[in-house]
Structure 1
Amino acid sequence: MGAKGPSPFLAVFLCVCSVCAELKISVISPVTATLGSDAFLECTFIVDKFPVDLKYLAIFWSFNGKELLRFVHGLKVLEPRASINETEIENGDASLLMSSVTVHDEGVYKCSVIYSPTKRQEFVTLTPQARPEIFIPQREAIIGKEALLRCCALGFYPVEIDIAWLRDGQILPGTSTSKPQQYANGTFRINSTVALLPAYSDAHLIFSCRVQHASLPGPLQEDIQLLLEEEKNTWIVIMAFSASLLVAVILVALVVCFLFRRQLSRKRTLDDISGPQTWMENEVVEVTCKGHNYPRDIRMEWQKVHKGQVMEISAQDHSGHQLTEPLLDPARYRFQTSRTDQCCSLATITSTLSITPLLQEDNGAVFRCVISMIDGSQREEKEFKDFTLCVRPKLQMKITTPEGWVRGTNMALTAANFYPRDLPIKWMAWDEELSHRTVPKAEADGTFSLTSTCTLNLRQVHDCCPVKVTVGTFSLTLQRENESTRWRQTERKDSDPDIDISYADSLQDMQAPSK
């Protein structure tokens, strides 16, 4: 979709068709937006007389040389996530709404307004942001032995960030910071480490990891207290000698427990991974892996296999403590491990992986649960792959009544950006199935779109006949308002999708909006 701007022929036409009009345009820039949220890019204009005469008005929005939408005798959207409030245009509001902002939306947007014969344009800078999360994997240290503290800042954008270690509010010298690494969604992660020699005096001090970033109103800080231990000394030997008096009693219990544990270990099982068979994009799903009769010192790991590439999500021990830091986006992949203790140091281990799936990154993926001893031995695994990843369609209905109902009413339903491809459409009026024509097409992002058109005859229109359209597993009902060319949605349930109803002037306008 190349942005060539308003053509000179259009400008000449508007100039010829109108008298000279004063035009002033204003914007608010820069604009910041959190990743995944909607960004509102304000662009308003003032003319010498309101309301604006739409016959002489043209509006264009473009980004990085590509046109997003235009308003010239009607709205044409070229980018599905871009929208404009048509009802406010005649009041001088040409503001743009960009939905589901990503890092690729960062840059300068151009708002161009023509009110014949005057043309004005302004620029708005959009800066996406994502707040960092702090993760400190280790808090244990031995007195008198050098320890390495590590702080991870995860999932932030833009890349510029300041991270520091403090002891009782004072910055620790010798901090080392790694190069930022980028996740698939464009956000970053970074590590900061500091070496110290713990002493007894550190037991009651507060160690802090402080992060400063453009997305934060102030510094983000996580405080910890070191869990200090002493090296083993001779007093441990003395206590062990005293405890030997109890060995005779304990030995009998250990033998019994050992025999019983060996019996249960032979019945060690790892259940198949359980989870829903149908997933919706951007909606959290959970899959659960459960193992029975495992020792407590185990390692639970989740992996994602996609297009032949094995990616470790993270690993935890039997109590849910992190053994490795997250390698995939922690905002979309999280898991928690718990245990139910049995006798003889055996337990049932349950691990639940929460996923917020995306079509391009998770469709066709295999999620693997791996359980092993803490040293990696006695490895067992299960895979979860028999699921269908779906994307809900965005619905729009265009209605036209050519020649004052003499030829009936034409309806065009557009279902945009859905997955998978099969999406049955059915039209009904007075319990009669109506003939319709459906035109599907594949989109560049792997989703599909289709337009289904149907014509109501004169009797169905004049009887205010309700029209029921079934789209896949849900349906919507439309009914004409009395003595009006307007239709409204009725019998709507909370689970039904919203539909945008618009009205076209002619049959040529019944086509689906362009991408």
Structure 2
Amino acid sequence: MAVGIALLLGLGSAAGAFLVSTDPSPVTALLGSDVLLTCSFPAAPRGGARDETLLVSWYFQERRVAEFDGIPISTRVGAILFSQQQGHAQASLLLPGLTLADQGPYRCSVRYAGQHGQGTVQVQVAVLPRVEVPSPVVWRDEDSALLCWLRGFYPQHIAVSWLRDGQELNASFVSAARQGHRDGTFSLVTVYRFTPTARDLGALFSCQARHPLLNQSRQADFRIAFRAGGLEMGLRVLLWMLRVSLLLAMAMGGWLCCDTSSRPRKMVEQMMEQATERIWDPLRQRFQQAREAISSWSR
């Protein structure tokens, strides 16, 4: 990654002890963003020598990355140094397109008018996760599991919670983190187990991830759906069979009404009456009982 370095120098008279100040540490920035690290110091330190030679050096993990000694010098490809006269002295290090490799300690060392001072600042990189609930389909009145994927976050530690209509659920869940991306970011899958009921249908569930460094959160909102159970599926098949039988009966009735022979017609009518008494009436009663049972469960 190309590192840009901007050195802003303002030379003038000022009173006070020679002190080098940097940004409050740590400086947290998003992956890929630009970061400006400041370094301030008095332009004319009290009690200093008349020699106003100025030397400013920036170090990253004790390796020099930029220096100003009359001529701007950078040890990284693509780095830029420039100076500008202002009312006080300030050196700023610009890091564009931040990567995970850029996090760590930075030190600004200043030698001016025979005196020396330095300041340090820690840079840390953070990445918000992508949150996804792939399949919110569960079993009704049975132990079920919801999966939530958190992808591409950094660092590894992140807070996960499950919510129902905006209220955090106190039930336990299991999470497992792993580092599975080339850029060094992490992924996590969390599993929430519960027994859904009819009251949960229509409720707004959420899988929420809160980043501790950025104090920001990402979440996926969803509504659950019930899988078709064995009894419900059997009732659907039975209803389909009844509909097919009704269509066959209607077709047969149309053929009989056009038949001029009375004896076959009477025999078929008797067979249909017997089938209705022995087969369809009991099936209709069982179907009605099953519907009443399902209605009582959903209350």
Query: Normalising TM by the smaller chain, what interval?
Result: 0.5 to 0.7
Counterpart of 1:18 in structure 2 is none
| 1:339-360 Cα shifts (integer Å, max 9, x gaps) | xxxxxxxxxxxxxxxxxxxxxx
Name the SS for the 1:95 alignment partner: strand
Shift of 1:152: 1.4
Q: Which residue among 125, 139, 149 is the counterpart of 2:136?
A: 139
Structure 2 distance, partners of 1:174, 1:22, is 57
Name the CA shift for 1:100/1:163 in 2 (closer, same or farther; >3 Å): same
Aligned-partner Cα distance in 1 for 2:212–2:80: 27
Secondary structure at the counterpart of residue 238 of structure 1: helix
1:226-237 equivalences under 5 Å are 226-233=224-231, 234-237=234-237
Q: Which residue of 2 aligns with 1:61?
A: 58
Matched, 1:40 2:3: no
Q: Name the SS for the 1:193 alignment partner.
A: strand
Question: Residue in 2 aligned with 1:260?
Answer: none
Deviation (angstroms), 1:123: 0.3
* Alignment check: 8 A CA contact 2:28 2:214 kept: no
- Aligned in 2, Cα 1:118/1:47: closer, same or farther, shift over 3 Å? same
Q: 5+ residue gaps in structure 1?
A: 1-20, 249-515
Residue 163 of structure 1, aligned match among 160, 163, 166: 160
Q: Secondary structure at the match of 2:196?
A: coil
Whose radius of gyration is greater, 1 or 2? 2
Counterpart for residue 108 of structure 1 = 105
Is contact 2:156–2:177 with CA below 8 Å preserved after alignment?
Answer: no
Residues 78/239 of structure 1: CA separation in 2 closer, same or farther (3 Å cut): same
Change (3 A) 1:65 1:48: closer
Counterpart residue number, 2:23: 28
* TM superposition shift of 1:180: 3.2
State the alpha-carbon separation in 2 of the partners of residues 88 and 227 from structure 1: 67
Give the structure with the higher percent helix: 2
Tell me the equivalent position of 1:124. 121
> Identity percentage over the alignment?
26
Q: For 2:221 and 2:201, how far apart are their aligned partners in 1?
A: 13
CA distance in 2 between counterparts of 1:232 and 1:247 reads: 26
Change beyond 3 A, Cα 1:227–1:114: same
Residue type of the alignment partner of 1:119: H
Contact 1:81 1:99 survives alignment (8 Å)? no
The match for 1:80 among 56, 77, 88 is 77
Conservation of the 8 A alpha-carbon contact between 1:24 and 1:47: no
- Taking the aligned partners of 1:34 and 1:247, their CA distance within structure 2 comes to 66
Of Structure 1 and Structure 2, the greater strand share is in 1
Which residue does the alignment assign to 2:240? 240
Q: Does 1:148 align with 2:148?
A: no
Cα distance per residue 1:171-211 (max 9 Å; x no partner): 24220010332421121111111122222121122222121
Which amino acid in the other structure matches residue 79 of structure 1? R
The residue identity in structure 2 corresponding to 1:175 is F
Q: Quick check: 1:146–1:198 contact (8 Å CA) kept in 2?
A: yes
Distance 1:132 1:216 in 2: 12
Name the SS for the 2:91 alignment partner.
coil
Question: Alignment partner of 1:242: what SS?
Answer: helix
State how many pairs are aligned: 225
Deviation string, structure 1 residues 201-239 (Cα, Å, up to 9, x no partner): 211222221211135444433221101233143421332
Q: What is the RMSD of the two structures over their aligned residues, measured on CA atoms?
A: 2.7
TM-fit CA distance, 1:101: 0.8
Provide, for residues 53-77 of structure 1, a one-character-per-residue CA deviation record: whole Å limited to 9, x for no partner: 9961111001112110111120111
| Mapped partners of 2:98, 2:168: distance in 1 | 38
> 1:246, CA displacement in angstroms?
8.9
Q: After the TM superposition, which parts of structure 1 deviate over 6 Å for at least 4 consecutive aligned residues? A: none
Give the TM-score, by structure 1 length: 0.40
Alignment of 1:190-205 (within 5 A): 190-205=188-203
The question of 1:70 aligning with 2:67 is answered yes
Shift of 1:102: 0.9
Post-superposition Cα deviations, 1:1-34, rounded to whole Å, max 9, x if no partner, equal: xxxxxxxxxxxxxxxxxxxx96332111221111
The reply to whether residue 99 of structure 1 matches residue 96 of structure 2 is yes
Alignment of 1:80-479 (within 5 A): 80=77, 82-87=79-84, 91-168=88-165, 169-233=167-231, 234-244=234-244
Q: Give SS of 1:47's match.
A: coil
Q: Distance in 2 between matches of 1:119 and 1:38?
A: 29
d(CA) in 2 for partners of 1:85, 1:247:
89
Cα contact 1:130–1:215 (8 A) shared by 2: no
In 2, the alpha carbon distance for the partners of 1:29 and 1:181 equals 30
Could you tell me whether the CA contact under 8 Å between 1:208 and 1:222 is conserved in 2?
yes
CA deviation after TM superposition for structure 1 residue 105, in Å:
1.3
Q: Which has the higher contact order (CA 8 A, sep 6+)?
A: 2
> TM-score normalized by structure 2?
0.68
Q: Aligned with 1:42: secondary structure? A: strand
CA drift of 1:93 comes to 1.6
Structure 2 distance, partners of 1:44, 1:84, is 16
2:156 match: secondary structure: coil
- 1:138 partner SS: coil
Q: Following the alignment from structure 1 to structure 2, what is the Cα–Cα distance between the partners of residues 224 and 54? A: 69
- Measured in 1, the distance between the counterparts of 2:221 and 2:182 equals 29
